[in-house]
A and B are shown apart, each in its own frame.
Chain A
Amino acid sequence: MLIASYLALAAILFVIGLIGVLTKRNAVIVLFSLELMLNAANINFVTFSKMGLVPNLNGQVFALFNVVVAAAEAAVGLAILFAIYRNRETIDAEKLNLLKG
């Protein structure tokens, strides 16, 4: 199995997540796409941990830390969205323009 196939899969998932982040209007879906981008990075870590130039377990350990940070980010992000929804009655990303000059 070629290493390039795994890297290409990770690149495709990352780009789809990027499109979701840039074009979706529901802020929860934007957070979800962010998780997809982090997951694509994790695939790269695990791929290099098996087939990289120096294959060892450090890649998997790093991916596990990445999962921890992603879970914390999802929880805090969702709490922020709840606070925004309570104050503005919407989580539409286009209408959240309070900081716009």
Chain B
Amino acid sequence: MEITGEFIAFFILSVLAICGAVFMIFFTNVVHMGVSMAFTFLSIAGIYFLLNADFLAVIQIMVYTGAISILMLFGIMMTRHKETEEKLNRPIHYWLSIAGAGVLLVSLVLLSRGATFVSDSVDTKGYGIAKIGELFFGTYMIPFELASILLLVALIGSIIMAKKEGQE
């Protein structure tokens, strides 16, 4: 494989993403875990840029590295009772989970290497935001409206659930 700019960018971004996720697993301070996950989400936005998904990359930065990371940090700070996270008390459960996840990883990678779903010509000329808007307000009109209703329901539901009980 020849070394191209895309390869170098992909290498750096994927190493950053995987490092952030692995640090999330191994950190003990809960706030550090949240910050390393924010780095992972930012690197995934870079991966989207590599895949010609500019709009999705910007959305990823706004929603994930912006909103969800801050939301989770608030959640950690408002529910924290101790600084550090302890390991599970059940060693069998712990090692079985890791072994199962490892088997899943190996089978997924082997499957994706064995299958052939590569197209010959990649035409990304029409991958702009205008085309996405046309799709949203044309083919995907009903799901788009349903998504807005879903967001409204989630907003109202989370307010009601987070409200103190017995408070009218």
Residues of A whose CB lies within 8 Å of any CB of B are: 1-9, 11-20, 22-26, 28-29, 31-33, 35-36, 39, 42-43, 46-55, 57-58, 60-61, 63-65, 67-76, 78-83, 85-86, 89-91, 94
Contact = CB atoms under 8 A, between A and B. Distances in A.
Given A8-B112, A9-B47, A60-B53, A75 B158 contact: yes
Contact of A79 (B51, B59, B122, B158): B158
Given A26-B76, A78-B158, A86-B164, A57 B127 contact: yes
B135 interface: yes
Contacts of A33: 24
Given A6-B51, A9-B18, A20 B158 contact: no
A15 B161 contact: no
22 contacts: A1-B7, A4-B113, A15-B105, A16-B22, A17-B21, A20-B21, A23-B93, A31-B72, A35-B68, A42-B44, A46-B47, A50-B51, A52-B117, A57-B127, A57-B132, A63-B53, A68-B150, A69-B150, A76-B157, A78-B71, A79-B161, A80-B161
Chain B interface mostly helix, strand, loop or mixed?
helix
Interface in B46-64: 47-48, 50-53, 55-56, 59-60, 63-64
A53 B159 CA distance: 44
Interface string B98-117: 10111011001100110001
B166 to A, nearest CB: 11
A76 B17 contact: no
B98 A19 contact: yes
